[in-house]
Amino acid sequence: MSDSSAPTSRLTPAQESTLDLIRRTTEPLVFSAELVAELREEANEAFAHFGDRLDGNQVFVTKHTLAGVFGCETQFLAPDEFEWTPSRARGQVSHRAIQLLINWRGEAAPAELVDEAIARLLNEEKGLSPWLETLGQGDLADLRAMCSDHVTKFMECFPPLDPRSRPVTESSTQWPVDGQILLRGRADLTMGKPFERESRKLIVDFKTGRVVPRHREDLRFYAIVETLYRQVPPLKLASFYLDAAPPIVEDVTENMLRSTLRRTLDGVHALIELRVEGRPPTKSPGAPCRWCPLAADCSEGQTYLHRDDIADATDDEGL
C-alpha cells in the first residue's frame, strides 16, 4: 500500500480522514518467517487430524461458514431458502458499481456506474439476474436510487486510488491448494504491492447496514488465509460502511493472527461435528432471528424478538 492514494489538496475532509486511517505507516512492518511457519504447521497438523474424521468429505470454509457455526447452529443447518430482496440486491449492485469505479478510466457519475452494474448483472444469467428481470420500472428505479446513494457516499468519503498502489477488486485467495479442507476468502478490495517480507497490503470490505462484530472477524479470516497462502501477513484491515465514514481500521498483529487461526480451527471442528458426526445443534438467539426461516416455531427466537421489540420501543420514547 502506497503512502497516499491521491494528492491530499484535492481531497474532501472525509476523504482525508479515510486516507489518514488506511495509509501505510512510516516504519516498515515485517513479521518473522518463524511466525508464519508456526501458523502453517499448526494449521496443517489440525487439518490432518480433522481429515481422519471427515469420512471422505471435503469441506470449504469461508467467512460465512464460520459466522454460521459461531452463531445459531440450528439456523446454520436449516435448509437454505435464500431469496433476493431489495436490501440484498442493493448491496450486490452497489458493490459491483464500486468495483467498476475503481477500474474506470475518466470520470463517471454514480448513476452511470449503477446502470452499468445492473446491466452486467443481468447479462450473467445467474445469481441476481433472474430477480432483476422480474422488476417493473418503478421498482428498478427505486433500486437505482438506493444504489446511486451508496456509490455517491463512497465517492465522497473514499479517496481516489493511485494505480501504483495496485488496487484489486474481488481478490480471491485459497489455502491450501488442494485437500479435504480448503480455506477460501474473497476481499472486496486489496491495495499494496509486495516487497520482500514487508507487510504492505490493505484488505477492505465494503458494508451496507449497521456495524456488527462479525465484520471484523470476517476481515481477520481474510488476513489468516492471506498469511497462510502468501506467507506475508497483510498490514491493515478496513471495514468501509457505505452509510458512514470513516472506516473501521485494524492493524494486523501476531496475536490477531494466532487467535484468528485458533478461531478458524475451532470453526472447522464444530462444522465436522454438526455436518459429519451428527452432533445436535444448539440455539443462539440474536439479531439474525429477524430473518430466520425457523423463527415462527422457535420459542427462544420469539422470546428474543419480543424483548428486542420492547427495547426498540423504549429507545423511541426517549427520542
**pLDDT tens sequence across 239-295:** 999 888 778 999 999 999 999 999 999 999 999 999 999 999 999 998 888 878 888
- Class of residue 60 by CB neighbours under 10 A (exposed 0-12, middle 13-18, buried 19+): exposed
How far apart are alpha carbons 255 and 267 in whole angstroms? 18
pLDDT band at 9 (very low <50, low <70, confident <90, very high): low
Q: Which residues contact 223 (CB under 8 A, 6 or more apart)?
A: 203, 233, 234, 237, 252, 256, 257, 260
- Sequence spans of domains, the chain: 8-78+163-275, 86-157, 287-317
Q: What is the DSSP letter of 319?
A: -
**Least confident segment among 33-42, 54-63, 124-133:** 124-133
Phi, psi of 168 (to 5 degrees): -130, 130
- 458512514: which residue's cell? 244
Provide the 8-state DSSP code for 164.
Answer: G
pLDDT in tens, 61-118: 999 999 999 999 999 998 877 788 888 899 899 999 999 998 898 889 999 999 999 9
How wide is the angle at C-alpha 288 spanned by C-alphas 282 and 293, nearest 5°?
A: 80
